[in-house]
Amino acid sequence: MKAFASILVVVLGAVLLHASKDFPLLGDAMSPANNHPVARHYIEETVNDTHVRNLVTAVLADYRGYDTMFETVVVFVAGIGILAVIGVPTARIRQNENLGSTRQFGVDSDLIILQTCRLIVPVLQLFALYVIAHGHHSPGGGFQGGVLFGASYILLALSGGLREALRRLSESLSFRLAAFGIVLYAGVGLLSMALGGNFLDYAVLDRLLPGDVAMARSHSMLIVEAGVGFTVTTILFVIYANLATRGNLEDGL
């Protein structure tokens, strides 16, 4: 198997290296990918269409809204899949009973680690909210902010124990919030259908939202990004909590 893998890799690598001589040079503004009408349209028209300066956010949440919505669904389904594969059903019943127990925050943690993480976690969560909310004008958006927010709960679990983190964001609440994020995203799409547009056609929402058509698209993108943020945050935490404890949600790592 090793010999077969080496031969395959060498041959395939040689073919690909040979093919790379037909590729455009790095940084070529006239390359087919960069000079495509769609790519040019995104750069030239986005600000007129949506008033959003961060083109990545605009393309992600508006022009390619279908793609992003179902990517979010994939993240949600991955969370459900982890629960189905390694989740221990009885652990969930017991965990709900134990949640009320009074346990000191991070009794078995080192003092320095505990106090440092206590300082970092709120700042990290605030920054995550900023990244989601300011994604229209600076690097950021729902995925990035969601990952940061999820990381703050993982940090809490690492420093103060998983039980403490689960007391603040339980698994059932996580899944409810994750589903809420997708419902929020799809709800914006269905609302625009109800108002006579296409699915996720934010332009028709200008009857409900303040500002002109472009501002309506900008505001709808914020709602949609918040939905993405809910799902990514909670599913990331669920993935950590289940993998770290083999699905029984007792104190693992």
Partner 1 sequence: MDLLEYILGKSNYWASIVLMMIGLHAMISKNNLIKKLIGMSVFQTAIILFYVSSSAKRGAKIPIIHPHGDHADKADHAAEAGHHAADAVHHAIDATAYENPLPHVLMLTAIVVGVATLGLALAMVQKVYAAYGSIEEDEVLAAIAEATANGASISMPSPSDSPAQGDVSPS
Residue 4 found at the interface with partner 1 (CB under 8 A): yes
Instruction: Report the distance separating Cα 95 and Cα 16, nearest Å.
Output: 52
Nearer to partner 1, 5 or 111 (CB): 5
Residue 43 found at the interface with partner 1 (CB under 8 A): yes
Q: How far is the CB of 204 from partner 1 (least distance, A)?
A: 23
- C-alpha angle with apex 175: 201 to 69, nearest 5 degrees? 20
Nearer to partner 1, 51 or 204 (CB): 51
Site for partner 1 in 176-195 (CB under 8 A): none
Given the rule CB under 8 A, which of 52-60, 125-133, 167-175, 184-192 is the region that contacts partner 1? Answer: 52-60
Nearer to partner 1, 106 or 237 (CB): 237
Asked if 150 contacts 158 with a C-beta cutoff of 8 angstroms, the reply is: no
Site for partner 1 in 224-243 (CB under 8 A): 232, 235-236, 239, 242-243
Q: How far is the CB of 188 from partner 1 (least distance, A)?
A: 18
Q: How far is the CB of 222 from partner 1 (least distance, A)?
A: 16
Instruction: Report the distance separating Cα 231 and Cα 142, nearest Å.
Output: 9
Given the rule CB under 8 A, which of 72-80, 106-114, 154-162, 185-193 is the region that contacts partner 1? Answer: 72-80
Nearer to partner 1, 65 or 106 (CB): 65
- What are phi and psi for residue 32, nearest 5 degrees? -55, -40
Residue 78 found at the interface with partner 1 (CB under 8 A): yes
Site for partner 1 in 125-154 (CB under 8 A): 137-139, 141, 143-144, 146-147
Closest by CA position to 141, among listed 187, 204, 72, 197: 72
Residue 124 found at the interface with partner 1 (CB under 8 A): no
Instruction: Report the distance separating Cα 69 and Cα 62, nearest Å.
Output: 10
Q: How far is the CB of 236 from partner 1 (least distance, A)?
A: 7
Nearer to partner 1, 87 or 106 (CB): 87
Instruction: Report the distance separating Cα 147 and Cα 155, nearest Å.
Output: 12
Asked if 133 contacts 218 with a C-beta cutoff of 8 angstroms, the reply is: no
Nearer to partner 1, 40 or 103 (CB): 40
Instruction: Report the distance separating Cα 144 and Cα 44, nearest Å.
Output: 25
Collect all residues with Cβ–Cβ distance below 8 Å to 81 and sequence separation of at least 6.
Answer: none
Asked if 158 contacts 114 with a C-beta cutoff of 8 angstroms, the reply is: no
